[in-house]
Amino acid sequence: MPRRRPGRPRRDDQRPTRDLVLAAATALFAERGFDAVSVRDVAAAAGVDAATVVHHTGTKAQLYDACFARVFSAEREVIEAAGERARAALSAGSPDALRALHDLVDVFVDFLEDRPETTALWLRRWLEPQRHGELDRRYAAPLYGLVEELLVAAAGAGALTEPTPHVTVRSLVWAVHGHVVALAAGAGSGARERREFRAFVHRFLDALYRGGPPDA
C-alpha cells in the first residue's frame, strides 16, 4: 500500500480538507477550550499534518475564529428563514402570529439539539468573558439582533408588548443552551426532556405575549 503523503486527509473521509479540519477543531475546542488545544491536536484528529491545518486556517486564533464562523453560518441560515416567516405573520396581524414565534424558537432548539458542539463551543468561550469578545460581536450579536428587531417591529405594529427585547432574547438563548447541556448530561429520558422543554418554551412565549396566563 502506498504511503499517505503528508498533509493529505485519510481516505476513510472524503470531505474537503478544510471541512475536516474545522469539524475536528470545533469538537476539540468545544471539549477542552482554546488554551488546551494545539494545532497538532487538530491535525491528528483531522488526519492531516500541522502544516496543512495552518495552510487552510492560519494561526490557532484564526482557526478558533473559523470554528465560530462555521457554526454561525449554519445557524444564521435557519434562523433568518424562520425569522422571515415570523416577521410576515406578525406584520400581517395573523391569528397564527404567536405560532410563528413558537416555530422560530423551535427552529433554534432543533438546531442546537442536532449540533450540541455549538453549545459546548460557546460555553467554553463564555467561561472567560474578557477573552475573544470579538467572537460575540461577530457571531452571536447579529443573530440576537435579528430576533430583537423582529420583536420591536411586532411591538410597533401592536402585535405584542415587549419592553426589553434584548433581555427576552438573551434569556431564551441561555435557556436553550441549558437544555442542550441537560441532554448531554443524560439525566432521565432524552425524549421526555425534549418534549417537556419544547412545551415550556411555548408556555413562556404565551405568557409573555398572549396578554394572559398560559394555556393549560
Q: Please give the full DSSP string across 49-100, using - where no structure is assigned.
A: -HHHHHHHH-SHHHHHHHHHHHHHHHHHHHHHHHHHHHHHHHHTT-TTHHHH
96: Cα within 13 Å, side-chain hemisphere: 7
DSSP 191: H
pTM for this entry: 0.86
Q: How far apart are CA 46 and CA 107, in angstroms?
A: 30
φ/ψ region of 213 (left if φ > 0, alpha if ψ in -120 to 50, else beta) reads beta
Which residue is listed with cell 475573544? 132
In the chain, how long is the greatest CA-to-CA distance?
71
- Residue 42 has phi, psi (to 5 degrees) of -65, -45
pLDDT given for residue 140 in this prediction: 96
Rounded to 10°, the helix 17-32/50-57 angle is: 100
Mean pLDDT of successive 10-residue stretches along the chain, which has 216 residues:
47 77 97 96 96 96 97 96 88 76 95 96 94 95 96 88 95 96 86 95 92 42
Angle (CA) 74 75 76, round 5°: 95
The DSSP 8-state label assigned to residue 211 in this structure reads S
The secondary structure of 116-130 as a DSSP string is: HHHHHHHHHHHTSTT
Question: What pLDDT, on a 0 to 100 scale, did the predictor assign at position 41?
Answer: 98
Backbone torsion region of residue 58, taken as left when φ is above 0, otherwise alpha when ψ lies between -120 and 50, otherwise beta: left
Half-sphere exposure of residue 173: CA atoms within 13 angstroms, side-chain side? 19
pLDDT of residue 196: 95
Quote the CA–CA distance of 203 and 197 in Å, as a whole number: 10
Kindly report, residue by residue over 108-139, the tens digit of the pLDDT: 999 999 999 999 999 999 999 999 999 999 99
Domains of the chain: 17-57 (1.10.10.60), 68-209 (1.10.357.10)
